[in-house]
Amino acid sequence: MNAKSDINAVEIERLFKENYDVLCLVSFRILKDRDTARDIVQDFFVFYWQKKNTISINVSFQAYAVRAVKNLSLLSLQKQRKEHLLLRDLNTEEEDLRDLRDKTGSYTKILEVLNHLPRSRREIFISSVIHGLSYSEIAESYNISVNTVKTQIKRAYVFLRSKVSKEDLLYLSLWLSLGAF
């Protein structure tokens, strides 16, 4: 190493020792995290060491360092907030997927239960609830009375209530209203 490098290294070491505690306090006031504040100050001195030959300081070193550490701390805080928002969004998406899986499980369960209905009752129920046909339209298409349609639908609901939870029935009505079947 030449004498100029030694002087610069000695000078930077002196600046580090004189300013480290103050700069850590400046960063800590912004970040409220002692370890991150120390990292910011160390990062500043590494940057300063790497750019020492190209940096032109028009104020005192301490004023320059305080401003630089404040800016680095604010950038770090901004990055932390973005990461927090991303994590929150990811967690929300994960919860939505979990809810969707739960609802899909309910949907599958309801379909299985519907398949246990007698064929004609299931067809009448589906015609009414899923396809939205009126009792008279169903009666006409199956060549049965309106009262028979009402009875078959009532029995289908009784059977469904006995086999699935109220929550699953709620999902069924939601899917039906959205036309999901």
pLDDT tens across 17-60, in order?
999 999 999 999 999 999 999 999 999 999 998 888 888 888 99
Cα 26 to Cα 21: distance, rounded to the nearest angstrom:
9
Second-level CATH architecture of 3-89: Orthogonal Bundle (1.10)
Instruction: Find the range with the poorest average confidence among 14-28, 62-76, 127-141.
Output: 127-141
Cα 63 to Cα 60: distance, rounded to the nearest angstrom:
5
Cα 125 to Cα 158: distance, rounded to the nearest angstrom:
12
Residue 22 burial class via C-beta count within 10 angstroms: exposed 0-12, middle 13-18, buried 19 and up: middle
* pLDDT tens figures, 120-132: 888 888 888 777 8
Fold of 116-178: Arc Repressor Mutant, subunit A (1.10.10)
Identify the pLDDT of residue 2. Answer: 40
The per-residue pLDDT of the chain, averaged, comes to 80
Cα 10 to Cα 177: distance, rounded to the nearest angstrom:
76
Domains in the chain: boundaries: 3-89, 116-178
pLDDT greater than 60 at residue 178: no
pLDDT band at 63 (very low <50, low <70, confident <90, very high): very high
pLDDT band at 1 (very low <50, low <70, confident <90, very high): very low
pTM score: 0.47
pLDDT greater than 50 at residue 79: yes
- In 32-163, which residue ranges form alpha helices assigned H by DSSP? 34-50, 61-115, 119-125, 135-142, 146-163
